[in-house]
Structure 1
């Protein structure tokens, strides 16, 4: 009997792991063994995470990568990784370490070497950067801040509903680490983009994304130019940072499934 291919979903900042539940259901129906483990310190539910922000605080990129690496080592075969936002960066790091069969990075946070810093990205992350002490804290977004960072391509009603359902405080540390990446030769945001032996990578970008604008994803693609391994990019021109959780998530998920089939995965 063939072992189902594991798929590990990795959330980004401000969303709880349970926001992947519709994706998990879909991928399981398609024959994958799908799961969405939280980041280190993440409580099991949205409500618990909101009540205990200190459990989430002060976890940096390396700690998150190590956490998922330990989960991967307990799997029967190398998984497919699907990550959103900072989860997309984490997925790329793990793929570069040859710990995954493939990765889909959706609106992935910028890795070391990516230079564009659009004004909308600065505004979206201002709730963290406005206070240097937030590096060691967990920071929550207001509904208005969420609408700018995630829900700008949605109606106010849908954005507010997603905010109420899925948002949790997020550690500030990964954002500070990513912001300093190009000044730190040993940055945790560094990815082995030259790896020729890694599995295939799909980058997805939303054309209306304020938090990770398309220019960031296209600059990320250029970082892989020295590797012959499969690196593809797909655009959703009318979508924002909410594209994995909003009413049209299925379009993104089906696109990822189609790409995985083309990679014979």
Structure 2
């Protein structure tokens, strides 16, 4: 159910669901520092459930909004992939910005993959008290394109018509792009538990960002109100290899705010949901606690 609609610069309308408004109301009522979690492609907000519980135990209020039209469950998403199509980076960024502006306290923002790109976009708009971007998708000005990143995105980029579709990953594609650093048994469990179709448009936007001066896949890295930023990279990530995270750090480090980067050994793109998620969550929490 949609309870609010507002006009935003990158899209016709941004909608906040009733569930998201309840999260905002709860955060405002607690007066505890809020943390907004932003998921990426092929995952849903529920992928953050364990993180949300951990951060709440540490004294924060966790919000896990979805992208516009996100289904409630993995089963729903896989049954009706069409509802996830036609989502652009700008539309999703505006959706999260609308939620954040409804909060009484400026939140910390934690994002993974395309959620990491979105977290940086939101921080560049001055909307974050601190930001953690985990295996974040590249933005305009980030030049490296390792082969493994191209291979991970090829299930979408290989067909131009996929720009207007929502594309699921096969198990083998998920194994390469997300779950290459875990056992076969764990990889299959992650695939069954978390994997959903993803909008194709953001991948095309990221792929062409350095060719398009008007791209939505861009970050204001110079905003003095950006706040502290931590970039986290999984050492074995095929989808966003170290070269991309390093280049993103180099674009961000001249900002007046604190900018740090850390590589977590032995981890792939599924590092936020696999059996080692707690190490990544603790690294993120420790950084946020320094500033929020």
Q: Do the structures match in fold with TM over 0.5?
A: yes
Which moves more between the two structures, 197-206 or 207-216? 197-206
Q: How does 1:1-265 map to 2 (within 5 A)?
A: 3-263=31-291, 265=292
3-state SS in 2 of match to 1:232 = strand
Instruction: State the 4+ residue runs in structure 1 displaced beyond 3 angstroms.
Output: none
How far off its partner does 1:237 sit?
2.1
How far off its partner does 1:197 sit?
2.2
TM-score, normalised with respect to structure 2 = 0.89
Partners of 2:46 and 2:219 lie apart in 1 by 27
How far off its partner does 1:2 sit?
7.5
Name structure 2 gaps, 5 residues minimum.
1-28
Partners of 2:239 and 2:140 lie apart in 1 by 17
Residue-pair matches, total: 264
Partners of 1:100 and 1:90 lie apart in 2 by 11
Partners of 2:76 and 2:106 lie apart in 1 by 31
3-state SS in 1 of match to 2:155 = helix
TM-score, normalised with respect to structure 1 = 0.97
Name structure 1 gaps, 5 residues minimum.
none
3-state SS in 2 of match to 1:68 = helix
Partners of 1:72 and 1:228 lie apart in 2 by 23
3-state SS in 2 of match to 1:251 = helix
Contact 2:131 2:288 in 1 (8 A): no
Partners of 2:287 and 2:224 lie apart in 1 by 20
Give the RMSD, CA atoms, in angstroms.
1.1
Partners of 1:87 and 1:259 lie apart in 2 by 18
